Amino acid sequence: MQTPEKKLKYLKKTIETIWHGTDTNAGEYPKIINLYKEVLKLDYKDRDAWENMIWLMWSMSINSGDKSWLKDAEIFARRYLSLMPNGYRSYEYLGMFYRVMNKDEKLSIRYYESAIRFQDCPVTVFHSLVSLCVKTGDKLNGLAYTKLGLRKFKNDPYLTGKLLNLK
């Protein structure tokens, strides 16, 4: 019987071989998605597995025109957050998911707002949040988040430029 560690190593090697092989095509994405699901059964804290699997589902929705893949991606993205709510990264990923993959800017802003509450949140999350506020015409919140970001990341060029534009 294979130990969980050995099985995990085998699954990750198989994913690597299929996904990054010379002849990989979108037709193999469902197989890779299923392998990621197996990885997550053994290690649900593998953030890269969650994010790569969700990206593949989104990609399948575009490549195949089958919107059920996007629905599955949303379900798994929300599950990802529910299992790992104690850090910025899950919230940031949901913000990116709704911004890029599901085109819901208002919901995206809510997740980015949650991400910036964490001390280890990088400046790029502030960039995304401010950018979305500006894009949606919410200059007041854009200015507030710019100032908040500059308190944490003094002299950040992007936020400094936004501060001048939003005043």
Q: What is the tens place of the pLDDT at every residue in 32-52?
A: 999 999 999 999 999 999 999
| Cβ proximity of 80 and 50 under 8 Å | yes
In this predicted model, which residue has the larger pLDDT, 22 or 163?
163
**67 and 140: one domain?**
no
For the domain that residue 32 is a member of, what is the CATH number? Answer: 1.25.40
**1 and 78: one domain?**
yes
Reported as a pLDDT band with limits 50, 70 and 90, residue 25 is low
Residue 89: pLDDT above 80?
Answer: yes
Residue 51 has a pLDDT of: 94
User: 3-class SS at 104?
Assistant: coil
Mean pLDDT of 134-152: 96
Closest CA to 159 of 126, 119, 125: 126
Instruction: Return the H-helix or E-strand segment holding 64.
Output: helix 47-64
Our count of domains for the chain comes to 2
Unique residue bearing structure tokens 């709704």: 98
For the domain that residue 108 is a member of, what is the CATH number? Answer: 1.25.40.10
**41 and 117: one domain?**
no
Radius of gyration (Cα) for the chain, nearest Å? 18
Q: Which residues span the domain enclosing 103?
A: 88-167
Q: What is the pTM of this model?
A: 0.88
Residue 32 φ then ψ, to 5°: -65, -40
**2 and 76: one domain?**
yes
Mark which of 45, 65, 84 sits at the end of a domain. 84
What average pLDDT does the structure give for the chain?
92
Residue 26: pLDDT above 60?
Answer: no
